[in-house]
Amino acid sequence: MLNARYTLRVPKADAFELKYYYSKEDEPFEARTFPPHIHDVPEIYILEEGTACFAVENRLYRLKAGDILITAPNEMHNCILTEKTVHKHFCLWFEPSCFLLDAILQNCGSEGNLISPPQETKKKILSLCKELYRATEEKKHRREYALLCQILCEIEESIGTGKESDTNLPPILTEILQEIAVNFSKIESLNDLTEKFYISPSTLGRLFRTHLHTSPKSYLETKKLAYSRILLREGRSVTEACTGAGYSDVSGYIRLFRRRFGVTPGEYRKK
């Protein structure tokens, strides 16, 4: 049998930065809801131990140990602990997104945010994450990079598993969330929603608190602000970002943006 020679070509990778944290607290957390928020960068959340729910845009996911949740830049999401539970997890962010993440983000856009690999793969990914943490502690930077590549490859191979979102959302809430997703910039107040769907303000608030553990005002506000950040990143002016997201008062928009993100829209745009 003839020997074969092979050539390995590694795609050119621009400089990128990985930031992550490892929450390894063994004490259970009381039931709580983390506020809805958005990031400029992709996020990979890996649950090591415990149970958790995640609301992502108009979907709700229930996670078990070893499950993975991917959120794209400016995708609104928040973690919900519906019961007292241990909440050990890894959270990784990439700045900017790199070729290592391209396939994961592209496929999750169509397949959903949740990845639930087979049990053996879950164990392998969690083991690699712990090795990454040890390599960071020991300042073994080449080892860190090699482990990150392994983690991302395992996640990419698992795309398409466990993609179904929770189906327990009431049909009326699903319709409201879809309306917000499509027309958030045209919705001037919550009255627009209550009138369109023939429900009372108290019913609207109860639907959001019960199933998404947030208020409709906060949900709509976060959606508008997320879109305004996209416009600012594209180079639009503060006024264009304000009106494009559905706000009419520029000064009020600037105050709201600063309160939420700690910088003004103009400062954010310069970054």
Whose structure tokens read 């092979």? 6
| 120 and 202 co-located in one domain | no
- Asked if residue 29 has pLDDT above 60, the reply is yes
Instruction: Round the average pLDDT of the chain to a whole number and report it.
Output: 89
Provide the residue range defining the domain that includes 195. 171-270
Residues 146 and 185 in one domain: no
Check residue 76 and give its pLDDT.
Answer: 84
Q: According to the model, what pLDDT value does residue 10 have?
A: 72
Please state, in angstroms and rounded to a whole number, the distance separating the CA atoms of residues 104 and 142: 23
Which domain CATH number covers 79? 2.60.120.280
70 in Cβ contact with 103 (< 8 Å): no
pLDDT > 60? residue 188: yes
DSSP H/E element including 23: strand 17-23
In a domain, 165, yes or no: no
Domain presence at residue 11 = no
Among 111, 133, 157, the domain boundary falls at: 157
Pairwise CA distance, residues 14 & 96, whole Å: 9
Whether 5 maps to a domain, the answer reads no
For residue 32, pLDDT over 70 is answered with: yes
Q: Evaluate if residue 5 carries a pLDDT over 60.
A: yes
| Residues in CB range of 203: below 8 A, 6 or more apart | 194
Distance CA 214, CA 32 (A): 11
Taking only the tens place, the pLDDT of each residue in 105-150 is 877 655 689 999 999 999 999 999 999 999 999 999 999 999 999 9
Find the CATH number of the domain harbouring 247: 1.10.10.60
Distance of alpha carbon 170 from alpha carbon 211, whole angstroms: 9
pTM: 0.79
Tell me what percent of the residues of the chain surpass a pLDDT of 90: 58
- Total of domains in the chain: 2
The per-residue pLDDT for 163 is: 57
pLDDT of 48: 96
At 110, list the tokens: 């169509």
Alpha helices by DSSP H, the chain: 99-111, 119-137, 141-157, 171-183, 190-197, 201-211, 216-233, 238-244, 250-261, 265-270
- Average pLDDT over every residue of 81-88: 91
Q: What are phi and psi of 88, to 5 degrees?
A: -90, 130
- Side-chain-side CA neighbours of residue 142 (13 Å): 0
pLDDT over 80 at 165, yes or no: no
Residues 109 and 50 in one domain: yes
Boundary (domain end) residue, out of 109, 125, 157? 157
User: How many CA atoms lie less than 13 Å away from 149 in the CB half-sphere?
Assistant: 10
